[in-house]
Amino acid sequence: MIRFFDTLRGEVVPFEPLVPGEVRLYTCGPTVYNYNHIGNYRAYVFEDLLKRFLVFMGYKVVHVMNITDVDDKIIRDAGAKGVPIADFVKVYTDAFFEGLAALRIAPADRYPRATEHIPDMVRIIQGLLAKGYAYRKDGSIYFSIAKFPGYGKLSKIKRDELKTTSRIGARIEADEYEKESAQDFALWKAPKPGEPSWDTALGPGRPGWHIECSAMSSKYLGETFDIHCGGVDNIFPHHENEIAQSEAFSGKPFVRNWLHCHHLIVDGEKMAKSKGNQYTLADLAARGISPVALRFLLLGTHYRKVLNFTFEAVDQAKAAVQRIQDFAYELDHRAFPEGAAGPDVSRLVAESDRKFRQGLSDDLNIAAGLTAAFELVREANALIARNAVGKADAEVLKAALRSFDRVLAVLPEAKDETLPADLAALIDERERVRSARDFKRADEIRDVLLSRGIVLEDTRDGVRWKRVRQ
């Protein structure tokens, strides 16, 4: 049985999708006004783990992730640069998708854009007006949270405390706003000069932030769907407001399971532009950090815990990934004796598979999952060292490792990589001088290859090479 922590209920609960065997998943995507930093990607990697695990467990997953391509910051920053919004947004949207691919995040089924769903949002806002949940004020339309009794149920905030419990220094004076209540939020914003505006049945203007997710999730996943994810910072106000809008409009429960990922900090401190620790993938690439090592690092801390990013932890993640990759390499390249699969390997594979499933089924306990995966690696290596693994065993182990990797996604994609001719020639030369016992020259060649990212291993079956990332 799979169990997840549900933010709304505040406890770990059995996971039961609305339609057996199928999971409808909505994950909050980026607002494309800047390059994503590793904190953003932590959330996406967590969602990838969730989705890959569900697929691994046999579910069909329909995954939708929004792209917010109109909002205050986009308008502000595009304006400051003097760039058309469409061009401005494209740069960061493209970078976002590159980042997903680099981190081996399995693509969603759809990436709906806010600007392409204005009519869907208008329809919901019209409905909310008709039902009395929304009101007009100076060309804008607001949602009245007083009309929605369940307001605050996700974030555990009591409506009457909202006014007084705001962070010190950030209190909101009701009269600064043109709303009936300071806590009401905008569904539709009146047009302003220089801002994008749509002419709709509501009048001219642009959508508020929250309404897009209500519109696009219900359009593609239904008015009630299984899982909605995001960072903890989205709990309030974003997801709280989504619930209010969606449930007020449809009269049905919006989401069955809310999963929120905690934040990433760097060297024990919150990321901040002023601290210069808001790393992007490009920043890390410039330091020679491979995306797969980063993926493993982001994956390795349970999603409901704060992840402390350090460069030491990156090195450790890299070493751990290397261990798994080396094991796969061994299975692919070692000359195993002929023979049928033996009971030791079968038992090992069955046991680690059981632990892997059981671990991740427990609210995505990734540590338990990784323990199972490393158990397979360690025990199989021990059997190999004792010469107890035949060809058929190796195939069974390979299949098991590939199976885990459907979730972890850290193994090299394609093999059969060919070595540049000059490097291949060097390896041949080294073999010649080695048999002539000219070890000085042999070691020189090894150093040359290492500087090109190639490690040589002399085995009983001959020399072999592999690539290492710096």
Partner RNA sequence: GGCGCGGUACCCAAGUGGCUAAGGGAGAGGUCUGCAAAACCUCGAUUCGCCGGUUCGAGUCCGGCCCGCGCCUCCA
Cα 410 to its chain centre, rounded Å, is: 14
Paired residues of 27 in beta bridges: 65, 229
3-state helix, strand, coil in the chain (%, to 5): 50, 20, 35
- Range in contact with RNA (rule: CB under 7 A) among 80-88, 101-109, 125-133, 449-457: 449-457
Nearer to RNA, 156 or 402 (CB): 156
* Residue 306 binding RNA, by CB under 7 A: yes
CB of 459 to RNA, least distance (A): 6
CA-wise closest residue to 417 among 383, 444, 454: 454
**Three-state SS at 217:** helix
Contact string (CB under 7 A) for RNA, positions 350-369, x = contact: ------------x--x-xx-
Nearer to RNA, 18 or 93 (CB): 93
Q: How far is CA 410 from CA 19, 52, 170, 323, 454, in A?
A: 31, 13, 44, 11, 19
d(CA 448, CA 393): 36
Identify residues 9-28 at the interface with RNA (CB under 7 A). 10, 28
The two structure tokens encoding residue 165: 């419990």
Q: Among 17, 39, 205, 207, which residue sits at the site for RNA (rule: CB under 7 A)? A: 39
d(CA 427, CA 217): 56
The answer to whether 375 touches 369, Cβ cutoff 8 Å, is no
* Residue 338 binding RNA, by CB under 7 A: no
* Residue 469 binding RNA, by CB under 7 A: no
Contact string (CB under 7 A) for RNA, positions 115-154, x = contact: ----------------------------------------
The residue whose two tokens read 């996604």 is 409
**Three-state SS at 170:** coil
CB of 21 to RNA, least distance (A): 27
- Range in contact with RNA (rule: CB under 7 A) among 76-84, 279-287, 388-396, 442-450: 442-450
- Range in contact with RNA (rule: CB under 7 A) among 133-141, 225-233, 400-408, 413-421: 225-233
Nearer to RNA, 80 or 167 (CB): 167
Nearer to RNA, 87 or 458 (CB): 458
CA-wise closest residue to 65 among 101, 37, 24: 24
Nearer to RNA, 235 or 345 (CB): 235
Paired residues of 264 in beta bridges: 307
Identify residues 373-432 at the interface with RNA (CB under 7 A). 374-375, 377-378, 381-382, 384-385
* Residue 72 binding RNA, by CB under 7 A: yes
Q: Among 87, 161, 332, 428, which residue sits at the site for RNA (rule: CB under 7 A)? A: 161
DSSP 31: B
Nearer to RNA, 250 or 316 (CB): 316
Count of residues binding RNA (CB under 7 A)? Answer: 91
The answer to whether 15 touches 2, Cβ cutoff 8 Å, is yes
Q: How far is CA 201 from CA 87, 117, 123, in A?
A: 28, 14, 9
Q: Among 121, 186, 187, 215, which residue sits at the site for RNA (rule: CB under 7 A)? A: 186
- Range in contact with RNA (rule: CB under 7 A) among 134-142, 198-206, 305-313, 412-420: 305-313
Q: Among 20, 58, 167, 173, which residue sits at the site for RNA (rule: CB under 7 A)? A: 167
d(CA 4, CA 172): 36
How many residues comprise the chain? 470
Q: Among 84, 350, 457, 462, which residue sits at the site for RNA (rule: CB under 7 A)? A: 457
Q: Which helix (H) or strand (E) element contains residue 456?
A: strand 454-459
Identify residues 275-304 at the interface with RNA (CB under 7 A). 300-302, 304
* Residue 252 binding RNA, by CB under 7 A: no
* Residue 2 binding RNA, by CB under 7 A: no
